[in-house]
Amino acid sequence: MKSPTALVTGVTGQDGSYLAELLLDKGYEVHGMVRRSSTETFERIAHLKDRIQLHLGDLLDQASLVTLLRDVQPTELYNLAAQSFVPTSWVQPSLTGEFTALGVTRMLDAVRLVDPEIRFYQASSSEMFGRVQEKPQSETTPFYPRSPYAVAKLYGHWITVNYRESYGLFAVSGILFNHESPRRGREFVTRKISESVARIKLGLQDELSLGNLDARRDWGYAPEYVDAMWRMLQLADPTDFVIGTGVQHSVEDFVNAAFATVELDPQDFMRVDKSLIRPAEVDTLQANVEKAERELGWRAATQFTDLVEIMVHADLEAQERSSRRRVGGPGTR
């Protein structure tokens, strides 16, 4: 029998790379959509390159999506591609809307036209809760987006629900709270902290500049979250889920835990940079994961301090590796 076939958009990103690993382990034939760029962005999937098949496609280009689905004939489609960095969405609001909002409609239309039996996962976000209307946030909490990114994600969420209801597609929206890992993009706060702390410990950097230290997030470990995505597509009926740990911490907590990992005092290195404060902030996010626990049998396993340690240790190793390639190598504070 032919193995199940999955297509992952955003396969070069944090989640795409972990999802590709998970699907390969489960015996899937795995295909990834990548967009053309003058330099390759395949660092996170370099170790998988002989086991997955990559295809050119872009969320901005409807024809490329239709052709891709015809060529790959997936049974499952995970739509993870997006402009995913919140601050950029104020600088490029229209482009963010094209990728992160209308890109979802283009993908759903491709499914509808090529094969309505394809099971579709949409990467929705806890950012949609924004100025939270209820604590903690569940699948029934009203939305209040606070950035062009969150507004675009909310469109992507509702168009997924709408195509499910209009055309009977097996389309689900996973409302995922922040999830992190050593593969997290360097501009996101957790990775910025873990990488900076590693560099400070090794004497390669003097200070860490951050914006709002009071923001609170529900941070989990990314490899566990891609398992929740897969579980959603195995259900008998399509329905949406909130995925998170149920526990929240502040940015300052993350800073303190990261410096504690390398036995340094944050007060000696921390600086607040007001230019990093956002035009509209999401102050607090915390997931109510009852539905996921009940219906998916999914629960976050990695605790906050373990996550911080995993990230700081990975960045220490990465910095030491690249320093060894430089003459002299780093010192240690």
Residues that bind ligand GDD (CB under 6 A): 84, 86, 125-127, 177-178, 187-190, 192, 210-212, 215, 217, 251, 276, 278, 281-282, 285
Please, which of residues 243-302 interact with ligand NAP by CB under 6 A?
none
123 touches, from ligand NAP, ligand GDD, none (C-beta below 5 to 8 Å by class): ligand NAP
Smallest separation (angstroms) from ligand GDD to the CB of 219: 9
With beta carbons less than 8 A apart as the criterion, state whether 298 and 227 touch.
yes
Shortest spacing between CB 228 and ligand NAP, in angstroms = 11
Which of 64, 126 has the CB closer to ligand GDD? 126
How far is the C-alpha of 149 from the C-alpha of 124, rounded, in Å?
11
Q: In the chain, how long is the greatest CA-to-CA distance?
A: 64
Q: Which is nearer to ligand GDD, 75 or 124 (CB)?
A: 124
Please name the residue that has the structure tokens 């909130």.
242
124 vs 200, which CB is nearer to ligand NAP? 124
Using CB under 6 A as the binding rule, whether residue 15 contacts ligand NAP is answered as: yes
- Burial (CB count <10 Å: 0-12, 13-18, 19+), residue 220: buried
Locus of tokens 């062009």: 148
Question: How open is the CA angle 63-68-70, to the nearest 5 degrees?
Answer: 100
Compare residues 270 and 289 and give the one whose CB is closer to ligand NAP: 289
CA distances to 42, 60, 315, 333 from 21, rounded to whole Å, are 14, 26, 21, 37
Partner whose footprint covers residue 187, from ligand GDD, ligand NAP, none (CB < 5 to 8 Å by kind): ligand GDD
Question: Between 75 and 79, whose beta carbon lies closer to ligand NAP?
Answer: 79
